[in-house]
């Protein structure tokens, strides 16, 4: 990766063009009335096609992706993105479909939705899915709308609270707030699981439900899920499953069987579609049979969701089939536990025991702090990893630990890759103990060094001035 400093505007030259359009063979239409016309000049870049290609190719070379190297970003499930899926989604018979074409013209697309619905139901134990949500957080919001709609349909209007564990993904409380629900936090125990005794008094007749991810954000299975489900249901609430952590359960455990009533999946995590630097994703929402009626009442996107992403995920599911799906869950858990066991002597492991697809370290055992020299933090470890050609884990999340390093390797990494990551993590730990300043100044080999984020926030420069 090398630093490249241009912006496309800086390549612009008056009169240069990069477009190819047909000759206009039509009579000239009447001009728009003057008061409806754009007055300000249209300042777009004026660049040739080769300029554009080279510019964006250069930009791409400052980026790290799954195809570049290991990406152990906790809760993000950065698995390999199969290439056949890309080709299938680009087929003209799908890419050229107008979203308002009636069913008679889109039989192939509708078949994809039907078969995806069946496949996801089989994988999760839910009854039916909506594919409208475009991302995980969008799915959460949709799922909570369904939860509220269910209570409204029963005339139970006072259920306006939702219980969220303190280890929840940050989106959970935000989604609840956007949906008009009041968040009630339930604490975790020392062992990282929900405190069932603390949950009990919270389950009033104002509670619409609980949002959980299982395994939770510490990568730990909520062993008391059966009891929790029984308690919530007895109190008239519903259980929402945040599918961000579904990967370890693939082929092994189904959220529907654990008593969850509503869930979303992140097709861009568990189902291998590329994350695209921040989307497009897809967050289909599944419901148990008794909530089926609520599905149709919620409209959260313009047409049919991110069809192009759904196509990719479907191609992936077909490649797994009944035979391979179990390996996805098992191997992702195997990889996570292997890394954990190989590193827990040099990074603090707050909670022992078998983890699922991810686990959390609470910083270095020896951060190198001595006398007046401050120690290396989790941020420093993360930045130093970049020097060695790895993406950093998720850092400072979950909020339960001050120096959280959340590592999720996924099932598509080889033992050799895991071993080289482990070796580098050990080397970084040794560097920290000896001279934490090396870490504090990292990265040294990336296209840029650490940027001044305070300046960016105090004096926002959010667009190119020309």
Strand order in the sheet with 394-395: 359-362, 404-407, 394-395
CB of 223 to other proteins, least distance (A): 6
- When asked if residue 216 is in the footprint of other proteins (CB under 8 A), the reply is no
Among 123, 351, 407, 433, the residue binding other proteins under the rule CB under 8 A is 123
Residue among 162, 174, 152 at smallest CA distance from 206: 162
Least CB distance to other proteins at residue 225 (A): 8
Compute the distance between CA of residue 192 and CA of residue 374 in angstroms, rounded to an integer.
29
Binding segment toward other proteins, per CB under 8 A, in 104-112, 195-203, 234-242, 365-373? 104-112
Q: Indicate which single residue of 155, 201, 296, 322 sits in contact with other proteins (rule: CB under 8 A).
A: 322
User: Judged by CB under 8 A, which of 187, 200, 324, 402 binds other proteins?
Assistant: 324
Could you tell me if 153 and 294 are in contact, meaning their C-beta atoms sit under 8 angstroms apart?
A: yes
CB 378 within 8 A of CB 394: no
Do 146 and 286 meet the contact criterion of CB atoms below 8 Å apart?
A: no
DSSP letters, 346-394, are TB--SS-S--SS-EEEESBS----BTTBPPP-HHHHHHHHHHTT----E
- Candidate ranges 37-45, 287-295, 359-367, 427-435; the one touching other proteins (CB under 8 A): 37-45
Among 276, 345, 373, 427, binds other proteins (CB under 8 A): 276
Which positions from 279 through 298 interact with other proteins, judged by CB under 8 A?
279-281, 298
In the bound complex, what is the minimum distance in angstroms from residue 354's beta carbon to other proteins? 6
Choose, by CB under 8 A, the member of 70, 138, 261, 400 that binds other proteins.
Answer: 138
By the rule CB under 8 A, 374 interacts with other proteins: no
Q: Is residue 423 close enough to count as binding other proteins by CB under 8 A?
A: no
Choices 48-56, 199-207, 286-294, 424-432 (CB under 8 A): range interacting with other proteins: 48-56
Which segment (203-211, 231-239, 250-258, 365-373) binds other proteins by CB under 8 A?
250-258
In whole angstroms, what is the distance from residue 73 CA to residue 68 CA? 14
Is 424 a binder of other proteins (CB under 8 A)?
Answer: no
Q: Which residue has the tokens 């270095």?
A: 364
Q: Binders of other proteins: how many residues, by CB under 8 A?
A: 198
Tell the smallest beta-carbon distance from residue 265 to other proteins (Å): 13
Residue 455 contacts other proteins per CB under 8 A? yes
Whole-angstrom distance, CA of residue 63 vs CA of residue 275:
13
Work out whether strand 394-395 and strand 359-362 pair parallel, antiparallel, or are unpaired: unpaired
Compare residues 17 and 204 and give the one whose CB is closer to other proteins. 17
Closest CA to 92 of 311, 318, 315: 311
Q: Find the shortest distance in angstroms from Cβ 208 to other proteins.
A: 11
In terms of CB distance, is 45 or 237 closer to other proteins? Answer: 45
Cβ neighbours around 296 below 10 Å, total: 9
- CB 57, CB 28: distance < 8 Å: no
Q: By CB under 8 A, what part of segment 166-185 binds other proteins?
A: 170-171, 173-180, 182-183
Determine the distance from the C-alpha atom of residue 403 to the mean position of all C-alpha atoms in its chain, rounded to a whole number: 21
Residue 223 contacts residue 92 (beta carbons within 8 Å): no
Measure the CA angle with vertex 79, ends 309 and 256; round to 5°: 70
Mark the segment that binds other proteins (CB under 8 A) among 90-98, 203-211, 288-296, 361-369: 90-98
């Amino acid at each position: 990766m090398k630093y490249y400093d241009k912006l496309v505007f800086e390549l612009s030259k008056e009169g240069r063009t990069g477009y190819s359009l047909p000759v206009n063979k039509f009579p000239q239409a009447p001009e728009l009335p003057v008061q409806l016309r754009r007055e300000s000049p249209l300042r777009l870049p004026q660049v040739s096609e080769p300029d554009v290609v080279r510019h964006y190719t250069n930009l791409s070379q400052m980026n790290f992706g799954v195809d570049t190297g290991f990406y152990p970003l906790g809760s993000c499930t950065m698995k390999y993105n199969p290439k056949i899926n890309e080709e299938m989604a680009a087929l003209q018979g799908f890419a050229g479909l107008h979203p308002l074409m009636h069913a008679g013209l889109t039989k192939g697309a509708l078949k994809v939705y039907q078969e995806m619905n069946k496949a996801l139901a089989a994988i999760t134990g839910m009854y039916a899915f909506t594919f409208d949500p475009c991302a995980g957080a969008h799915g959460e919001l949709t799922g909570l709308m369904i939860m509220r709609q269910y209570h409204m349909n029963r005339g139970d209007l006072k259920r306006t609270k939702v219980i969220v564990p303190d280890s929840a993904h940050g989106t959970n409380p935000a989604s609840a707030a956007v949906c008009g629900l009041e968040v009630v936090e339930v604490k975790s125990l020392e062992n990282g699981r929900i405190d069932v005794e603390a949950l009990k008094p919270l389950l009033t007749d104002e509670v619409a439900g609980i949002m959980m991810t299982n395994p939770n954000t510490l990568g730990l299975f909520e062993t008391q899920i059966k009891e929790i489900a029984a308690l919530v249901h007895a109190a008239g609430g519903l259980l929402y499953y945040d599918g961000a952590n579904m990967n370890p359960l693939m082929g092994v455990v189904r959220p529907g069987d654990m008593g969850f009533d509503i869930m979303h999946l992140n097709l861009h995590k568990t189902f291998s579609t590329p994350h695209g630097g921040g989307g497009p994703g897809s967050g289909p929402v599944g419901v148990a049979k008794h909530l089926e009626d609520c599905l149709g009442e919620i409209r959260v996107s313009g047409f049919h969701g991110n069809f192009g992403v759904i196509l990719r995920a479907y191609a992936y599911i077909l490649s797994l089939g009944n035979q391979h799906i179990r390996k996805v869950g098992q191997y992702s858990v195997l990889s996570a536990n292997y890394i954990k066991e190989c590193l827990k002597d040099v990074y603090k492991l707050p909670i022992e025991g078998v983890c699922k697809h991810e686990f959390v370290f609470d910083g270095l055992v020896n951060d190198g702090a001595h006398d007046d020299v401050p120690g290396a933090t989790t941020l420093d470890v993360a930045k130093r990893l970049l020097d060695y050609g790895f993406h950093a884990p998720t850092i400072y999340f979950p909020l339960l630990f001050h120096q959280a390093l959340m590592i999720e390797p996924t099932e598509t990494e080889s033992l050799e890759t895991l071993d080289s990551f482990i070796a580098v993590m050990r080397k970084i730990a040794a560097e920290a103990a000896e001279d934490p300043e090396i870490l504090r100044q990292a990265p040294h080999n990336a296209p840029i060094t650490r940027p001044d984020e305070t300046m960016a926030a105090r004096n926002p420069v959010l667009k190119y001035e020309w």
